[in-house]
Amino acid sequence: MGGYYQQEFALMSIVHPLPNSEFVLLGYLATVPHLRNIKIGSRFLEYIINVVQQDDKSLILEVEHPDFGENRQLK
């Protein structure tokens, strides 16, 4: 899924329904750096939650701290 802010590509996510289950995995969500801290990521997450709930599914989040772990530059 992707999203725009004022006609500019602003964020994206990787959402994967898990086969034969009632779960959907949100494996990735990112906002372009110059559009962070204006709450569009939060609104996008709320949108994803609503879409998943409309399908009577539950959302699983994979969360990583950006300051730790491998590939710190990419985070």
CA distance 55 to 1: 16
Q: What share of the chain is helix, strand, coil (3-state, %, to 5)?
A: 25, 35, 40
Instruction: Give the residue-averaged pLDDT of 26-48.
Output: 93
pTM of the model: 0.79
pLDDT at residue 73 is higher than 80: no
Question: Taking CA 47 as the corner, what is the angle to CA 59 and CA 28, rounded to the nearest 5 degrees?
Answer: 55
Residue partners of 59: CB distance under 8 A and separation at least 6: 23, 24, 25, 26, 48, 49, 52
